[in-house]
Structure 1
Amino acid sequence: MSALQIVQDYYSFFNQKNWEGMLSLLHPQIRHEANQGDTRVGLELFREFLGKMDDSYDETLTDMVFLSEPTDTRVAVEFVVNGIYKKGEPGLPPAHNQTYVLPAGAFLEVKDGKIARVTTYYNLERWIKLVSE
């Protein structure tokens, strides 16, 4: 399977809220570089992250554009996050089911048929403004 197809399947599982499907596509030493905070390495830390996200947010991605490169190892994805902020997190505004629509992007690296790196970018200040209004 191509890197592009693996990444497309990964995001399809995300929109289905199929966390086990997502995890099945990840390399055991997945490197997760989130927009804010520390880098997570390994499936267990990624699983914990997914659980925390599932508790606090209900998100669906739309307007997805996938870009791949000739070595079939890296894929970039541009998308719109359509979300509901369900549960507050330390240092962030209180949550009361606010909705938000936010552009974002990610860069993924595939190694040995598994996603080995996910780097995600979005405008945190814009998100805070959206959920604070």
Structure 2
Amino acid sequence: MTDSDVLGGVLSLLSYEDLVRVGNTVDAHAKQRLQAAVVGELRAVAAEALENGETDSPAPVVQVRVHTRQADTMPPYWSARNLTFRHTDGLATFCLDASHTGLEDLLTDLTCFDQPSETDVLTITLPTGHFDR
């Protein structure tokens, strides 16, 4: 169903209200896939940080807090530069920089679906993939 002519023909039959519902459904599915990709990349970043001794605890990472950044006149965005890891032993690792990973692009894309304010913090629970802010 990715042929643009076929898709355009189907969409032309829908009312404005139906198009809005389809758009919302597509956005929800895209956001869900993007969040799954963020969780997968965070798991990889956490495992690498543990393996390289970059964390304040050797215990597995259970939760990641993602903070926002803001550049000049641009709106705030989710940033991979200042992550906080919470470990299973209760300790935390602050200010981990994962901007050199695929997480940076994923968080930029997530900002398009979930625009933060400058004080927002996104908490992601790795075992469940739950997002909270």
TM-score (norm 1): 0.25
Quick check: which one's strand share is greater? 1
Question: TM-score, normalising length from structure 2?
Answer: 0.25
Structure of greater Rg? 2
Q: Which has the higher helix share?
A: 2
